[in-house]
């Protein structure tokens, strides 16, 4: 899955336009103030020439005073226009990158699970943070301000030409050289900034993965190799950044050098004209001031080229992410009062281009029925649960909920009707209440009832009640306690179908007994799919579906399957013997 779009620069800016258009009034204000600001800058050297030639040299003191007041007025007006331009542009740019960041985050969290199977977390963080921030830098100090620079450069050249065409032609001698150098370096910088964005994303992805698994790194004394891998990625990022800085400095130095050469040529040529009487002192002074005002935006333009190239690389990455269409297609039908009837008919499924993991599964689960899915690792048990919650799509055959095809139902409706308790519980830093309700407005009485039914009262009490704190990654709760909280969260959600995916595989016998009590007290009133390796936890299920290599090979009650002496009986016997020997 590519993380970079192949769109041209102009196409990237067109793709950005919907985000810019939301604040087009502010951008319009900034653009309207740009020519006013440029005009004040252009007028100042002209006033200087006028005062020198018509007031200072003739000795007209009143003329000098009037000229000084006008000059001061242009400075004040230019300051006001510049402040207005900067404020409008900055505010609009911050709003735009907020829209972009919101779009990136929204796009990311609404993708299918297949998307996250191939996208490292660190890369996604880079897209939503560094790349969007780079775009903001461009909008405030790059692309839009170039309009002001272009107006100023054009206005200065016109003013200079009107004052003295010959001196202006001397200046234009360096223009072709300057244009060739800037364009050549711009192309190099674009490639380098793309390399920076890629290497930074790889660095962040590696760092995120190793920090998530730091306990394993330390346990197996893998710190040195991990540090070596980090340094290799850090070196690639550093080298790309250093090369970029070299070329960036080269652009600036080239413009600065040509500015000095131009000024020297103008002084040489203008001084001769001054002595011959063809150039006035005021014109020469104005041209010196104009040269400074001309090359200042050109020097800044070289820096803005770097900023814009960074932005183009960042935009390519951002829209490369936004172009990934891995969302689950949502239907329009709703289930206002789901009953919890699940039916699978001829279901086949494969992860991506891999081999099929389900082969023609046929299974009907009646409302309120408890069905266990058992089988060896890789038999397809968990995959069925993922398809029912619409974490994946792309299966063939039919899966229905209350007689409605999953594809016809809205994703929100399906996930309101189907809840899941996993072995690996995700807890967020915050209050116990937030982790049970996930911020939804739920009455505390309902939350406490769910905690009671989940047999999690002792856990919540130890943490300090519903307002107690759960630390980062749930460090202050055990695996068993986390399972009880996850079970309570599912009960707060109150789905019609509950999937227990290895929900008791990592808990002690006391916690498992509590979960079994909650299961017996509540889940008999719901449709329940229990996915378990330990067969002792599902002997009371209404029916047991035995899977083998993605196929449903047996179906019946615990007693029926034991009497049949098939695969389930062998699995049960193996676990019974292992348990007895242990």
CA dist., res. 499 & res. 515, Å (int): 13
Contact 220, 337 (CB under 8 A): no
In whole angstroms, give the CA distance from residue 515 to residue 553.
28
Who contacts 443 (Cβ-Cβ below 8 Å, separation ≥6)? none
Count of residues making up the chain: 582
**Is the pLDDT reported for residue 274 higher than 70?**
no
**One-character DSSP codes across 326-338:** -BPPP-SB--SS-
Query: Rounded to 5 degrees, what angle do the CA atoms 77, 80, 83 make?
Result: 145
Tell me which residue has tokens 């360096």. Answer: 174
Q: DSSP states of 90-104 as a string? A: HHHHHHHHHHHHHHH
For 397, list phi and psi in degrees, rounded to 5.
95, -155
Cβ neighbours for 189, distance < 8 A, ≥ 6 positions apart? 244, 247, 248, 251, 305, 306, 309
Distance between CA atoms of 437 and 460, rounded to whole angstroms? Answer: 14
The structure's pTM equals 0.66
Mean pLDDT for the stretch of residues 271-275: 54
> DSSP assignment, residue 407?
G
Q: Cα separation of 155 and 503, whole Å? A: 73
DSSP β-ladder status, 430-431 and 469-470 = antiparallel
**pLDDT at position 80 over 50:** yes
Separation CA 313–CA 117 (nearest Å) = 25
Burial of 103 (C-beta count, 10 Å sphere; 0-12/13-18/19+): middle
Span of 260-274, 376-390, 402-416, 484-498 with lowest mean pLDDT:
260-274
Phi–psi pair at 356, nearest 5 degrees: -65, 140
Query: Are residues 318 and 127 in contact, defined by beta-carbon separation less than 8 angstroms?
Result: yes
Walk me through the domains of the chain, giving residue ranges and CATH numbers.
Answer: 9-322 (1.20.1560.10), 342-581 (3.40.50.300)
**Which segments of 295-449 are extended strands (E)?**
342-350, 356-365, 370-374, 396-401, 404-405, 418-422, 430-431
Q: What is the pLDDT of residues 387-411, one digit of tens each?
A: 998 888 888 999 999 989 988 888 8
Weakest mean pLDDT among 156-160, 282-286, 319-323, 333-337? 282-286
pLDDT at 279: 66
Residue 370: strand, helix, or coil:
strand
CB 534 within 8 A of CB 575: yes
- Name the residue among 345, 356, 353, 346 with its Cα closest to residue 378: 356
Over residues 39-51, the mean pLDDT reads: 87
Q: Are 333 and 15 in contact (CB under 8 A)?
A: no
Both tokens assigned to 130? 């560094």
SS3 340: coil
Range name among 99-108, 217-226, 260-269 with the lowest pLDDT average: 260-269
**Which residues are CB-neighbours of 391 under 8 A, at least 6 positions away?**
112, 113, 328
* Mean pLDDT value across residues 236-257: 79
Residue 582: pLDDT over 60: no
Single out the residue of 49, 32, 125, 121 nearest to residue 84, CA to CA. 32
As a whole number of angstroms, the distance between CA 29 and CA 9 comes to 25
Instruction: State how far the Cα of 535 lies from the Cα of 546, in Å rounded to an integer.
Output: 11
Is 70's pLDDT higher than 70? yes
pLDDT (0 to 100) of residue 143: 66
Q: Which residue has the tokens 């009455």?
A: 443
Contact between 349 and 394 under an 8 Å Cβ cutoff? The reply is: yes
CA–CA distance from 453 to each of 51, 475, 488, 518 (Å)? 90, 24, 7, 6
Count the neighbouring beta carbons within 10 Å of the beta carbon of residue 12: 17
CA distances from 154 to 149, 189, 260, 302, 409 (A): 8, 26, 20, 17, 60
What's the average model confidence in pLDDT over 273-295?
70
């Amino acid at each position: 899955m590519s993380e970079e779009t192949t769109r041209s620069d102009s196409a990237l800016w067109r793709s950005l336009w919907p985000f810019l258009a939301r604040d087009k009034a502010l951008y319009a204000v900034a653009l309207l103030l740009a020519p006013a600001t440029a005009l004040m800058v252009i007028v100042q050297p002209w006033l200087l020439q006028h005062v020198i030639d018509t007031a200072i040299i003739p000795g007209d003191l009143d003329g000098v005073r009037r000229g000084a007041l006008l000059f001061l007025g242009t400075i004040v007006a230019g300051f006001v226009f510049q402040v207005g331009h900067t404020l409008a542009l900055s505010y609009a740019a911050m709003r735009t990158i907020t829209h972009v960041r919101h779009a990136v985050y929204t796009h990311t969290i609404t993708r299918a699970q297949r998307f996250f199977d191939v996208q490292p977390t660190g890369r996604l963080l880079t897209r939503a943070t560094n790349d969007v921030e780079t775009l903001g830098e461009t909008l405030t100090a790059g692309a839009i301000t170039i309009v002001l620079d272009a107006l100023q450069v054009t206005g200065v050249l016109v003013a200079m030409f009107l004052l003295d065409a010959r001196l202006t032609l001397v200046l234009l001698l360096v223009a072709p050289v300057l244009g060739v150098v800037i364009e050549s370096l711009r192309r190099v910088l674009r490639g380098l900034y793309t390399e920076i964005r890629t290497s930074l994303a790889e660095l962040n992805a590696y760092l995120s993965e190793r920090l998530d698994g730091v306990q394993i790194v330390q346990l197996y004394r893998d710190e040195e190799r991990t540090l070596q891998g980090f340094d290799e990625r850090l070196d690639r990022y550093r080298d790309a950044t250093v090369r970029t800085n070299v070329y960036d400095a080269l652009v600036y130095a080239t413009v600065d050098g040509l500015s000095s050469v131009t000024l020297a040529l103008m002084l040489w040529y203008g001084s001769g004209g001054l002595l011959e009487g063809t150039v006035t002192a005021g014109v020469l002074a104005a041209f010196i001031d104009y040269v400074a005002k001309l090359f200042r935006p050109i020097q800044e333009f070289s820096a803005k080229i770097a900023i814009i190239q960074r932005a183009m690389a960042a935009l390519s990455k951002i829209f490369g992410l936004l172009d990934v269409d891995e969302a689950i297609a949502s239907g329009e039908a709703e289930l206002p009062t789901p009953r919890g009837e699940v039916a699978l008919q001829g279901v086949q499924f494969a992860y991506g281009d891999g081999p099929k993991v389900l082969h023609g599964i046929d299974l009907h689960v009646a409302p309120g029925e408890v069905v266990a899915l058992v089988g060896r690792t890789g038999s397809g048990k968990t995959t069925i649960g993922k398809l029912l919650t619409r974490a994946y799509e792309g299966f063939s055959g039919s899966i229905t909920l209350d007689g409605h095809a999953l594809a016809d139902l809205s994703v929100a409706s399906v996930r309101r009707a189907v809840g899941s308790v996993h072995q690996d519980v995700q807890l967020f830093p915050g209050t116990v209440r937030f982790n049970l309700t996930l911020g939804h407005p739920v009455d505390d009485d309902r939350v406490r009832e769910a905690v009671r039914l989940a047999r999690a009262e002792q856990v919540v009490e130890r943490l300090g009640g519903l307002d107690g704190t759960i630390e980062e990654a749930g460090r202050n709760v055990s695996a068993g306690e986390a399972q009880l909280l996850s079970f309570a969260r599912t009960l707060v959600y109150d789905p019609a179908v509950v999937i227990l995916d290895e929900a008791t595989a990592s808990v002690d016998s006391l916690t498992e007994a509590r979960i079994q009590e909650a299961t017996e007290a509540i889940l008999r009133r719901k449709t329940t799919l229990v996915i378990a390796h330990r067969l002792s936890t599902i002997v009371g299920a209404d029916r047991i579906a035995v899977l083998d290599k993605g196929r449903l090979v047996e179906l019946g009650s615990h007693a029926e399957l034991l009497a049949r002496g098939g695969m389930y009986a062998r699995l049960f016997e193996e676990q019974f013997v292992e348990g007895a020997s242990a």
